[in-house]
Every structure is written in C-alpha cells, then in structure tokens.
Chain A
Amino acid sequence: MMKFIYMMASPPHFYRLAGKWLPWLSGITLLLLAAGLYGGLIYAPTDYQQGESYRIIFIHVPAAWMSLFIYIAMAIAGAIGLIWRIKLAETVAVCSAPIGAGFTLLALITGSMWGKPMWGAWWVWDARLTSELLLLFLYLGVMSLYSAIPDKRVASRAVALLALVGVVNIPIIHYSVEWWNTLHQGPTVTKFDKPSIDVRMLIPLMVMAVAFKVYYVWALFLRVRVELLERERNTQWVKELLKMNKG
C-alpha cells in the first residue's frame, strides 16, 4: 500500500498525471461556473429584504468556504509532508497558499461590497471579519516564509509547522458568529436543520461552491507542476522531459 502511494506521489508520475487532468479540470470548472453564474444572476429570485445586493452571496460564501477548506487542505498536506517526507505533499501544501490567499481576499472584498449597502460600513472589527483577516495574514505568512528560506525542503517543514499552528483559527472563524455578537449574520446553509434559504438560491450557491472546489484543483495542479519542475530540475526525469519538449 505504502509502495503504491509513493509511486503515485512520485514527482514524475504526478507531473504527467496532472498534465492529463488539466483539460478536464478546466472544462468542468468553466461549465460549472457558467451554470452557477446563470443560476445566481438570472434564475435566482430577488431577495425580499436585501433586493438585488444579495447576489454577492454567490461569490462571497463559496469564496469564504474555500478560504477555510484550502487552509485545512494545506495543513493536512503539510502534516503528511512532515511525517512521511512525501515531496508531493510538501508541494501541495506550498502551492495551496496563494490560491487560498486569493479566495480569502475575495471573501473579504466581496464582504466589504455587501457590507457597505447593507450595514452602512465597508469594514467593522467584528469577530468574523477580524478572524478572516487573520486567515489572510496566515496565508501571506506561509508564502513569505517559504520564499525566505532557500532550501526548499527546510522551507516546506517550516511552512507546514506554521500552517498547523494556524489551524486554531479555523474553528474560531467558523463559530465566530455563534460565540460572539457579530454584525455578520449567522449560518443559513450549514445548519443541521433545514437551511433557511430559498431553494432557488441554494442551488446556484451549491453549484458555485462545487465550481470553486474544482477550480482549486485546477489551479493547484498548474502550480504544483511548476514547483515540481523547479525542485526536481537536476533529476533525470526533468532532463528527459526537456529533451522531448525541445525535439
């Protein structure tokens, strides 16, 4: 079993496999995004309270979910890299950070765009917003720490530790709207009882969430391929690849 995992996770194998998957990932992402945008901007009805402004939800909520999801994925990959020294896991952890940072920034900006017309403020220092901002800094910290250490393997270990420590922030973000009195609304979708949202809004929201997930894999594979090439530039498989590329 371990042998199989090591084989699958070997850089040359994964490089080729990811290359084969890329067209599928891009196609599925674009289809889902098209469906989600149609659903969110045209099919979903206007909100009785917030009017059309609520349509920001179809970007904001999936982006916020992704910001947490990618952080957890990054920490798990980092831990696997720390324990089993699997190069691919280290690479996945490092390459997740910029994508996660992108989604966190997106969640913050769209939140701002939603907060201004609904709350009357671009920003408030409430628990949800502040902990999400901290998440952005954690991502940026991971990225700058990695680029500050020249030895990539040492850097990976440092980054994995930082990512693991930062995991504490994830439940804080998730439960912040319940633990503290915040301006940010409570959960409407991830409640155990029936979600308090119209099903015609829920479907496009879910489609966008899945679209963002597939997008993450797409963007991740693109980055992992670059990182693997750089890390393995002195190995035989990269040399062979370059020769084939040239000829």
Chain B
Amino acid sequence: MGGYALYVWVSYGVAAVILIANIVLPKYQHKMMLKTLTKKMQRAEQLK
C-alpha cells in the first residue's frame, strides 16, 4: 500500500466494525425481544 498501509487498513477495518455492528446488534435484539415477549406471554397465561 505504498507506505499508507496503516491508514488504509484502519479505514477498512473501522468500516467493517461499524457495518457488522449495525447488523449483529439488531439481530441479537430481535432474538432477545422474542424471548422476553414469549416469557411474558407464558406468565400471563399461567395467571389466568
């Protein structure tokens, strides 16, 4: 990279981190949301 390797690869690295985070995070939140809501629903049903 003609002496600029550090600058170029840090740029591409930061891009990878930010882009991946914005995919992985909502996917995880989705999973957790389904879990919590299911639990809540089950608890509500037991109370009936």
Binding site for B on A (CB under 8 A): 26, 46, 51-53, 55-56, 59-60, 63, 98-99, 102-103, 105-106, 109-110, 113-114, 116-117, 215, 218-219, 222-223, 225-226, 229-230, 233, 238-239, 242-243, 245-246
Contacts A59-B11, A233-B37; A102 near B27 (Cβ below 8 A): no
By secondary structure, the A interface counts as helix
B47 at the interface (CB under 8 A from A): no
Check B34–A110 contact: CB distance below 8 A: no
Chain B residues, CB < 8 A from A110? 11, 14-15
Check A239–B15 contact: CB distance below 8 A: no
Q: What separation, in Å, do the CA atoms of A242 and B27 have in the docked complex?
A: 17
Q: What separation, in Å, do the CA atoms of A225 and B27 have in the docked complex?
A: 9
User: Of the candidates B7, B23, B29, B37, which one forms a contact with A242 in the assembled complex, judged by CB atoms under 8 Å apart?
Assistant: B37
A236 to chain B, nearest CB (A): 12
A143 to chain B, nearest CB (A): 13
Check A105–B37 contact: CB distance below 8 A: no
Interface size class of B (residues with CB under 8 A): 20 to 34
Q: What separation, in Å, do the CA atoms of A215 and B22 have in the docked complex?
A: 10
Check A218–B23 contact: CB distance below 8 A: yes
User: Of the candidates B1, B19, B38, which one forms a contact with A245 in the assembled complex, judged by CB atoms under 8 Å apart?
Assistant: B38
By secondary structure, the B interface counts as helix
Interface residues of B in 16-40 (CB under 8 A from A): 18-19, 21-23, 26-27, 29-30, 33-34, 37-38, 40
B11 to chain A, nearest CB (A): 4
- Residue ID in chain A nearest B7 by CB atoms: A113
Check A114–B26 contact: CB distance below 8 A: no
Supplied contacts A63-B15, A229-B34, 18 more A-B pairs, CB within 8 Å: A46-B2, A51-B2, A53-B2, A55-B1, A55-B8, A98-B22, A99-B22, A105-B18, A109-B14, A110-B15, A222-B26, A222-B30, A223-B26, A225-B30, A226-B26, A229-B33, A233-B40, A245-B38
Q: What separation, in Å, do the CA atoms of A223 and B25 have in the docked complex?
A: 9
Check B41–A59 contact: CB distance below 8 A: no
Q: What separation, in Å, do the CA atoms of A60 and B8 have in the docked complex?
A: 11
Contacts A52-B4, A226-B26; A242 near B34 (Cβ below 8 A): yes
Chain A residues, CB < 8 A from B14? 106, 109-110, 113
Ordered by A's residue number, 12 sampled pairs between the chains whose C-beta atoms are within 8 Å are A51-B2, A52-B2, A52-B3, A56-B7, A99-B22, A110-B14, A113-B10, A222-B27, A223-B26, A229-B37, A242-B38, A246-B38
